[in-house]
């Protein structure tokens, strides 16, 4: 394996904790991200934040929202996301709900606006070795969620993180989201051995995307539990107020109630591996904004 002086563990026991709004990832608390594949409108996101976000009285099931406004799609004729008009939507919902927002950056030219509107910049699987983008993200003051490429080795993922870190940004969160294989029953194969290995080989937080791995709703909860048991620091789950009506990835998108039930089931598993569900509640003022 190639040397990774910055993100590699290199014998140290230190663990990077990335702070995101009131939440954090890499420490004892699990970091659960939920949201739609694609941002459709403000009401969609508000419903999710309302249903799953923290309130002054209870911690909520998710610690951050996700949703793409720029969507990487196989065909140029498929829906490409709402684009820049989505920037204000995600910022507003994020402020109202107190939930930080994770969204994908597909181009260097998008970085400047995204840094102003989002809390975590996601690099999608197709761009894991877009070194131009990685270098640019090394120079921004935002955590980067780096998804493993469809057929990237563990080493290549670590070195992609090293590109970002070596250009100045050490707040990198790795994400296993399934790799390509020969069996079409699941969309991809979730590689939890890679999660365990990444935790051993690097000091970065590692989260899991069970939705893209499975490609089927009925597998998401079990794979989520498996991921936490394997030692993942969190999850990023596709959900929607009306899953069947999701513009994209409907077949792997679960309902908000399903997310709530799933997260609840994670509690004892988290404890069994020395972790816990996040306990932060939102400040009262923030929550009132949602009601406006």
- Within positions 189 to 228, which residues make up the interface with its own copies, using CB under 8 A? 189-194, 196-197, 200, 213-214, 218-219, 222-223, 225-228
Contact 194, 151 (CB under 8 A): no
The strand pair at 206-208 and 172-176 is best described as parallel
Contact 62, 262 (CB under 8 A): no
Measured from the CB of residue 80, what is the shortest distance to its own copies in angstroms?
A: 8
Q: Which two tokens stand for residue 225?
A: 């539990």
Measured from the CB of residue 127, what is the shortest distance to its own copies in angstroms?
A: 6
Measured from the CB of residue 240, what is the shortest distance to its own copies in angstroms?
A: 21
Q: Which of 84, 95, 139, 153 binds its own copies (CB under 8 A)?
A: 153
Nearest alpha-carbon partner for 34 in 236, 213, 252, 215: 236
Q: Which of the ranges 15-23, 94-102, 155-163, 275-283 carries the binding residues for its own copies, by CB under 8 A? A: 155-163
DSSP 284: H
257 three-state secondary structure: helix
Build a one-symbol-per-residue string for 132-151: x at contacts with its own copies by CB under 8 A, - elsewhere. xx---------------xxx
Residue 176 and residue 213: Cα distance in Å, rounded? Answer: 8
Select 93 or 237, whichever has its Cβ closest to its own copies: 237
Residues 244-263 that bind its own copies (CB under 8 A): none
Residue 57 and residue 34: Cα distance in Å, rounded? Answer: 20
Residue 40 and residue 184: Cα distance in Å, rounded? Answer: 28
Contact 221, 214 (CB under 8 A): no
Residues 47-76 that bind its own copies (CB under 8 A): 72-76
Contact 93, 64 (CB under 8 A): no
Q: Which of 116, 271, 279, 288 binds its own copies (CB under 8 A)?
A: 271
The strand pair at 23-25 and 18-20 is best described as antiparallel
Q: How far is CA 261 from CA 159, 207, 224, 233, 256, in A?
A: 36, 19, 12, 19, 9
Residues 73-92 that bind its own copies (CB under 8 A): 73-78
Residue 76 and residue 79: Cα distance in Å, rounded? Answer: 8
Select 1 or 283, whichever has its Cβ closest to its own copies: 1
162 binds its own copies (CB under 8 A): yes
Measured from the CB of residue 184, what is the shortest distance to its own copies in angstroms?
A: 6
Select 56 or 268, whichever has its Cβ closest to its own copies: 268
11 binds its own copies (CB under 8 A): no
Contact 208, 227 (CB under 8 A): yes
Measured from the CB of residue 14, what is the shortest distance to its own copies in angstroms?
A: 19
Tracing tokens 């994400």 back to the chain, one arrives at 175
Measured from the CB of residue 283, what is the shortest distance to its own copies in angstroms?
A: 31
Measured from the CB of residue 45, what is the shortest distance to its own copies in angstroms?
A: 24
Nearest alpha-carbon partner for 209 in 88, 282, 102: 102
Q: Which of 22, 55, 129, 251 binds its own copies (CB under 8 A)?
A: 129
Residues 15-34 that bind its own copies (CB under 8 A): none
Select 82 or 179, whichever has its Cβ closest to its own copies: 179
Q: Which of 13, 185, 244, 292 binds its own copies (CB under 8 A)?
A: 185
Select 42 or 269, whichever has its Cβ closest to its own copies: 269
């Amino acid at each position: 394996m190639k040397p990774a002086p910055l993100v590699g563990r290199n014998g140290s026991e230190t663990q990077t904790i990335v702070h995101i709004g009131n939440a954090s990832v890499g420490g004892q608390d699990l970091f659960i991200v939920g949201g739609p594949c694609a941002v459709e409108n403000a009401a969609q996101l508000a419903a999710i934040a309302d249903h799953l976000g923290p309130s002054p009285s209870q911690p909520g099931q998710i610690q951050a929202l996700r949703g793409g406004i720029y969507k990487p799609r196989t065909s140029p004729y498929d829906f490409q996301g709402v684009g820049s008009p989505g920037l204000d939507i995600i910022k507003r919902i994020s402020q109202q709900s107190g939930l930080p927002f994770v969204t994908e950056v597909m181009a260097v030219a998008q970085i400047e606006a995204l840094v102003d509107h989002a809390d975590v910049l996601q690099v999608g699987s197709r761009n894991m070795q877009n070194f131009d983008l990685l270098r640019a993200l090394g120079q921004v003051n935002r955590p980067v969620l780096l998804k493993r490429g469809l057929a990237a080795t563990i080493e290549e993922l670590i070195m992609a993180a090293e590109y970002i870190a070596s250009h100045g940004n050490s707040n990198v969160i790795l994400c296993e989201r399934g790799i390509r294989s020969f069996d079409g029953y699941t969309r991809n194969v979730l590689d939890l051995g890679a999660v365990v290995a990444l935790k051993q080989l690097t000091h970065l937080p590692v989260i899991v995307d069970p939705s893209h791995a499975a490609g089927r709703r009925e597998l998401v909860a079990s794979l989520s539990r498996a991921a936490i048991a394997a030692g993942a620091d969190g999850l990023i789950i596709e959900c929607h107020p009306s899953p069947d009506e999701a513009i994209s990835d409907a077949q792997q998108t679960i309902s908000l109630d399903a997310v709530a039930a799933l997260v609840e089931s994670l509690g004892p598993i988290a404890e069994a591996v020395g972790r816990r569900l996040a306990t932060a509640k939102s400040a009262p003022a923030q929550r009132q904004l949602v009601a406006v």
